[in-house]
A and B are shown apart, each in its own frame.
Chain A
Amino acid sequence: MIAVWAILGLSLALFLVPRLAAVWLRWRDRAPGNDRTLLAYSNELPRYFTRDAAGKVNTAARWPGWDAWIASAIPADDSLPPQLIRGTLMTGLYGLDGIDNYEKLLYRLSGYQAVEHLCLVPTTYQLPEGASLVLSNLSQNYLAKQTDLEMADAELDVTILGDRPGNLTTEEPYGRIEGTWPNYRLSFLNPEAEIRIALAYQGERIVWWTDLPGRYTHFSAFGTFDATVEYSRGTTITDPHRPVPDSQKLRFQARGTVEHIAAREPFAFDWLWLPMRYLGRWFPSLKPILYHHEVVIGDGLEGGILHARAFGVDFRNGGGLFAGAVYHRIKHLAVSYAAADAIDNCGGLGALTPVYRSWDVRASTDAGELAYTATRTHPPAMAGPNTNQYHFTFQGTWLGAPLTGRGFGEYIHL
């Protein structure tokens, strides 16, 4: 009898808790009212860390949460080899394997002791006889917070250091962001592909996804990048057997976003997920978390969508668009997924992970509808076993008028 009541109680809790949480989030979220052109100083600075006795940032301690700064830039000239530049600096992990990639976490580090550097540069390489090759060029590193993170607290200046690929006797910044709104300077290194990136960013306007003070804040600031990308091996492959040093430096303008996410530690809930993992082995289709976030940059229109669902409850289903200077809030979103790639994560006989190649989006605003069909342009870049980051092109309509453009996004389903 007690077991029956326990199961009923647990079922009721699983039904009620997500729904109540969603209601609470809507009630507390300050995102709709936040300013869309000015960014408060506090919103660009790191939010979750601790100080030592001397008042300095203490990277040896466990922090109450983490911050992430993500730069995403799409070259204005779509004929250039790089299709997208995406760089991430995180002062902690999300805390859930699938979104994080625990395969890359050293055994001596816990999820609380690692910082993340990610550099994604999908690039088209020219091969002999007019052929081409598209590589994702994803570099993802979990490094030790204690030794490899340098962070100021009174200004935005965050650096993640890694072993210098060419000479271990010194460390080298794998990623850095510094500056104040609206001007940031960023740099990223992709050691595997031997690509170095420098970005000068000027921000213009902001889409707020969530602003729950003291819990979770996430915004994307749209702006222009002056980008310099150096491919140490070049982008023209004359002999596939000889990746000889043939440095090529590209300088171009790009449009994109700088994001800042600040999250408290409750998001580190991997241990709570263990029962779901067991169930997932028996029922591979059981995937209660969906997160689909993407940004579109089209003819005179830019903005993005965010769909976050857990246990059948929508926590976010909307977004925002700037048509020129006018902001339109997306009130409802419907995404239907079409062709997909199936990914084998080396996990033995486990189920394959679908990663979509194309999908249809319909987003409703008070002014009318944005509808588009998107197509991913490069191989899946799996930043976690269930997490794909991607660049895409799209065709569709905005208020009935034709619209084309490009975008980038992140898709998680676990």
Chain B
Amino acid sequence: MKPAYDFVIIGSGFGGSVSAYRLTAEQKRLGRPASVCVMERGKRYLRGQFPRDVGRPKDFSFRNEGRDGWHGIFDVRSGDNISVLCGAGVGGGSLVYLDVQVDAFASTFDIVGPEGRRRWPSTVNWHEEMPGYYARMESMLRPSPIPDPPLKTIALREAAHGAGMAERFKLVDLAVFWGKQGGERGVVFNDPYQRGGPPQGACQMCGECFLGCNTHSKNTLDLNYLWFAERAGAEVFSQHRVTRIEPRPGGGYTVYFDDLAAQSPGSVTARNVVVSAGTTGSTELMLKCKHGYRSGRTQFAPTMPRISEMLGRYFSGNGDFGAVAFQSRRVTEPAVGPTITAAIDCRDLLDGHGFYIEDGGIPEVLRANMRLYPGGVSTGQRVLHWLRGLVSTRTPASLAEQVFDLLDLEAVRNALVYLTMGIDAADGVMSIDQAGQLQIHWDHTQSMRYLRKVEETLRAISETPVPGSDGPGIAANLMLNPTWSFNKHLLTLHPLGGCPMGDDETMGVVSPAGEIFNYPGLYITDGSIIPTALGPNPSKTIGAVSERVGDHIIAKGI
């Protein structure tokens, strides 16, 4: 790593990768040497390297700030009434996201929050500007609907039909490579999009999108934006976790980091810094810079106290709400196919601030684990069969049946998993404790109207017709996310807000161009600057907003 760069980018997800590519490409276009450094806290995963061995939990979980070997691919943060799951690795959240590329609801950009403020900056005509940036995302990520939908997709279509919502059903655009003809499962192509990209395999329908796509069928950011940025000269450093940012006298910033692989601290300076560590990561970092924190016996003083008081506000889980329709009358095989394939589009409900109901999947972790070993799946099958015989001879045979039904995911072979997302109130607050650890406070009160409508709709599509009667539908039993039913606690994969955009520092943390008020040359671009829920899966909008921020950085002069 060089001691200084023009740009240091913190994080490699939908904000960081887009910025890295646009900035490096612009430097190249101007004939200047690339001077872009990307720091990512997670590891780099090549094709086939995503973890599957369930005996190695540290490969799956990013905990303890990445120390003691806990530098896995998932980072779970638990807060009041809501938990957040994020990805860690070169490519950021794209490694574990569920491929969906859908525009935000148009009504989103006009949302007025419960506090009575119009959330999105009024100085920008978002309706006019965003389509161009969405198109850029599409040209890079090449989303398209699945050409050969699996059984769970057909089940969702039937569910919509049963509830009289057939016209709302549609296959969603997925950033997945299906093959050149379409449906060429598993076939590996060198540079499939013929633009100098890496080899990718066509989707095998293995249902493991969520665990990291081992065939590189998912168009994750390390295969496009970041791939091209690196080829243009950007330097990407994995397992580098940024701890704080400090303005330098005379301009520029010093970025302090821990090298998790070498287990040593370091620092680098930059004229400009782009913070793209994700909603939780960026907000936590900025809160530490604004308020200071204690690490062990060392107290770090605030480095950027003039950051807006709006820091930490407008947290949203993007209305994420999970449910399962059990005992449906259709075969669904939720372990087959991309995790999400289709949606029931209810955006027009709730005065135009509705929701999207998508089918979900369940990755078959046991089978994926058995594939790793030399004996492969067949040997694992024989061992399991031997164990089954052993259990049967020592216990009632029905117990063995039940155990193996569980292993076979028998209870969900006719279950339809729902992943719902939509417009919640986006009124959560993030803060840090003395040790600089993020705290998330979310109250569902203002979002109850939304949640009740979601539940009502899920019940209609799941439980029609009533069991025993004829007619279209899947006739299932709906089970809501149990943590919600018992404890009013939700899980979100799509955290947003915390460093919201605003017209000025009383309205937000960053300007519509992503620049932090009072700190020139310091930008944030990721989910944290989105001031509301977006409706459907937010990655496309986060990427598009990052494209816009990149344009403004370039226009300002690099």
Contacts and interface: CB of A to CB of B under 8 A. Distances in A.
A133 B183 CA distance: 9
A379 B379 CA distance: 29
Interface stretch (B131-139, B254-262, B380-388): B380-388
A270 B206 contact: no
Nearest to B181: A134
Interface string A155-184: 000000001011111000000000000000
B405 interface: yes
Nearest to A240: B145
Interface stretch (A58-66, A97-105, A223-231, A289-297): A97-105
Contacts of A342: 187-188
A277 B379 CA distance: 10
Nearest to B153: A243
B381 A344 contact: no
A135 B204 contact: no
B182 A108 contact: no
A401 interface: no
A361 to B, nearest CB: 23
Nearest to A105: B381
B302 to A, nearest CB: 46
A168 B401 CA distance: 20
Contacts of B214: 344, 346, 348
A236 to B, nearest CB: 14
B145 A241 contact: yes
B404 A107 contact: yes
A137 B185 CA distance: 11
Contact of B48 (A194, A281, A348): A348
Contacts of B466: none
Contacts of A350: 48
A61 B408 CA distance: 22
A163 B331 contact: yes
B331 A241 contact: no
B183 A168 contact: no
A270 B378 contact: yes
Nearest to A348: B48
A380 B149 CA distance: 17
A103 B376 CA distance: 10
A167 B375 CA distance: 38
A243 B184 contact: no
- B204, B367, B381, B385 — most chain A CB neighbours (10 Å): B381
B376 A97 contact: yes
B170 interface: yes
Interface in A224-279: 240-244, 270-271, 274, 277-278
B381 A102 contact: yes
Contacts of A344: 47-48, 186-188, 201, 204, 214-215
B405 A133 contact: no
Nearest to A113: B385
Contact of B187 (A100, A134, A379): A379
Contact of A380 (B47, B166, B186, B375): B186
A115 to B, nearest CB: 16
A165 B151 contact: yes
A300 B541 CA distance: 60
B357 to A, nearest CB: 15
A97 B215 CA distance: 21
B330 interface: yes
Contacts of B329: 166-169
Contact of A134 (B149, B153, B183, B374): B183
A193 interface: yes
B152 to A, nearest CB: 10
Interface string B169-198: 111110000010111111110000000000
A389 to B, nearest CB: 13
A55 interface: no
Contacts of B414: 163, 168
B371 A137 contact: no
Contact of B331 (A191, A193, A346, A378): A191
B157 interface: yes
Interface string A274-316: 1001101100000000000000000000000000000000000
A107 B47 CA distance: 28
Contact of B330 (A108, A134, A168, A349): A168
A382 interface: yes
A389 B377 CA distance: 21
A146 interface: no
B85 interface: no
B159 to A, nearest CB: 12
A192 interface: yes
Contacts of B206: 346
B215 A133 contact: no
Contacts of A137: 148
A352 interface: yes
A274 B331 contact: no
A352 B148 CA distance: 23
Interface in B480-520: none
Contacts of A343: 186-188, 201
Nearest to B216: A344
B407 interface: yes
Contacts of B367: 103
A135 B375 contact: no
Contacts of A97: 376-378
B404 A345 contact: no
Contacts of A193: 148
Contacts of B47: 344, 349
Nearest to B53: A348
Given A135-B148, A137-B148, A346 B170 contact: no
B204 to A, nearest CB: 5
A194 B150 CA distance: 10
Given A110-B385, A168-B329, A380-B186, A192 B407 contact: no
A347 interface: yes
B467 to A, nearest CB: 9
A380 B187 CA distance: 8
A116 to B, nearest CB: 15
B147 interface: yes
B405 A380 contact: no
B182 A135 contact: yes
A35 interface: no
Interface in A95-139: 97, 100, 102-103, 105-108, 110-111, 133-137
A341 interface: yes
B52 A348 contact: yes
Nearest to B337: A192
A163 B202 CA distance: 29
B154 to A, nearest CB: 7
A279 B187 CA distance: 24
B158 interface: yes
Nearest to B379: A274
A107 B148 contact: no
Contacts of A382: 185-186
B404 A277 contact: no
B331 A168 contact: yes
A271 B382 contact: yes
Given A102-B378, A108-B404, A108-B408, A165 B154 contact: yes
6 residue pairs, one from A and one from B, having the closest CB atoms:
A97-B378, A379-B184, A108-B404, A344-B201, A349-B48, A343-B186
Interface of B: 47-49, 52, 144-145, 147-151, 153-154, 157-158, 166, 169-173, 179, 181-188, 201-202, 204, 206, 208, 214-215, 328-331, 366-368, 371-372, 374-379, 381-382, 384-385, 388, 401, 404-405, 407-408, 414
Given A107-B407, A192-B150, A348-B214, 15 more contacts: A103-B377, A108-B388, A111-B381, A165-B151, A168-B330, A243-B153, A277-B379, A342-B187, A343-B188, A344-B204, A345-B204, A346-B206, A346-B215, A346-B368, A347-B371
